[in-house]
Amino acid sequence: MWLRVGLTGSVTEAAVVNLANDLFDAYVDHLLVHIPGGTELDLCKVNLRTSGGFIEAFSTREAAGGGGSGSNAPAQVAPVIDWHISSHYRGGHPRSYLPGIAVDAVAQLDQVESALRATLASGALAYLEAVNGDTTAPFTTREVGTVRFFSAGTALAPPLFFPYTGAHCRQRLGTQRRRIGGR
């Protein structure tokens, strides 16, 4: 995910760590809470691009386990959150995979049960509200979204940012491909 921020004053590494902690907490509170305890969030990494270069920081929270009940399906089986943006184009649209869905939330072997879909869509919207609504200094604004770096095969300078305007959970389960060995 990408985050566009507005700033007042200078940014310190401590401020970026606070930002990472805020993102970590929002994910745990609004999305991970619906996934069974066998799934865990260990870290939130933020790379902040400033005119002076990069600031890299990590969340300082202890790992958080899912708050949902039930036993986990294999990690590669995941409900998919589709994020809405105000642009239409061919190719990949923004999405997030939430690994560790409860086995009893899987319907017909390949579908997410409808009640969980509604819950995850609400959680995704609450996540957006939590992140976008937090203006802890020195960040005056925050927007979660996606960045388009190319259009018609040409690099965009500057790249275009599209904030997420909504979310829904797909009916069909997704899979997370794991690549090993740099292939």
Residue 46's pLDDT band (cuts 50, 70, 90): very high
Q: Tell me the average pLDDT across 65-79.
A: 88
Buried residues in 147-162 as b, exposed as e (16+ CB within 10 A): eeeeeeeeeeeeeeeb
Beta bridge partners of 56: 47
* pLDDT, tens digit, 9 for 90 and up, residues 80-133: 999 999 987 766 689 999 988 899 999 888 899 999 999 999 999 999 999 999
Hey, which residues does 132 pair with through a beta bridge? none
Identity of the amino acid at 39: T
- Prediction pTM value: 0.90
CA distances from 60 to 18, 19, 23, 41, 135 (A): 9, 11, 11, 12, 19
Closest C-alpha to 166, from 85, 59, 55: 85
The pLDDT assigned to 179 comes to 54
> Residue 181: its pLDDT value, please?
54
